[in-house]
Structure 1
Amino acid sequence: MDIRIGIANSPREINFESSQTAQEVEQVVATALEKGDTFIRLLDNKGKLYIVPVVSFAYIEVGSESTRRVGFVA
């Protein structure tokens, strides 16, 4: 799952691959926003932990779960 998080007032974004499903990521974000949490925690495929402050969210894009093809397509 490809996850992109846009940061408010920053030209950069956080971009990483995660083994979490789209529903799991959506639940983590929705719960944090509803409860008024100050940050969320997400793990990438390599076990790296991302702690992102909720107030800095500009957008969160959760990509498809399909695998990428390698090579040429005819």
Structure 2
Amino acid sequence: MEVKIGVQHAPREIVLESGQSAEEVERAVSDALSGKSELLSLTDDHGRKVLVAAARVAYVELGEPTARKVGFGAP
């Protein structure tokens, strides 16, 4: 699933492909924004953790997983 995180005072958003379900991502965002956690912690497809201070999260956009294209040529 594609996740975009807007961070306050940062010129670009953080974009990652996560193997986590939409419910897991939504729960992590909710916990961070409600104060249960000081960090928003997500894991990408390569196993890397992305940590964002909950106080700096401007928005989180959840999208559909992107299909991997195979081969050459026009779509």
Range class of TM-score, shorter chain = 0.7 to 0.9
Measured in 2, the distance between the counterparts of 1:59 and 1:11 equals 14
| 1:39 match | 39
The separation in 1 between residues aligned to 2:68 and 2:37, in whole angstroms, is 38
Give the SS at the match of 2:67.
coil
Q: How far apart, CA to CA, are the structure 1 residues paired with 2:68 and 2:33? A: 35
User: In structure 2, what residue type is equivalent to 1:56?
Assistant: R
Structure 1 equivalent of residue 67 of structure 2: 68
- Structure 1 segments unaligned to the other structure (5+ residues): none
CA–CA distance in 2 between the matches of 1:69 and 1:49? Answer: 22
* Identity in percent: 38
Aligned residues: 71
TM (norm. structure 2) is 0.82
- CA–CA distance in 1 between the matches of 2:55 and 2:34? 13
Structure 2: give runs of 5+ residues left out of the alignment: none
- Call closer, same or farther: CA 1:18–1:69 in 2, change over 3 Å: closer
Deviation at 1:69, TM superposition (A): 5.9
TM-score, normalised to structure 1's length?
A: 0.83
Q: Deviations over 1:18-48 (max 9, x none)?
A: 0011111001111222234211211000000
Which residue matches 1:4? 4
Output the aligned Cα RMSD: 1.6
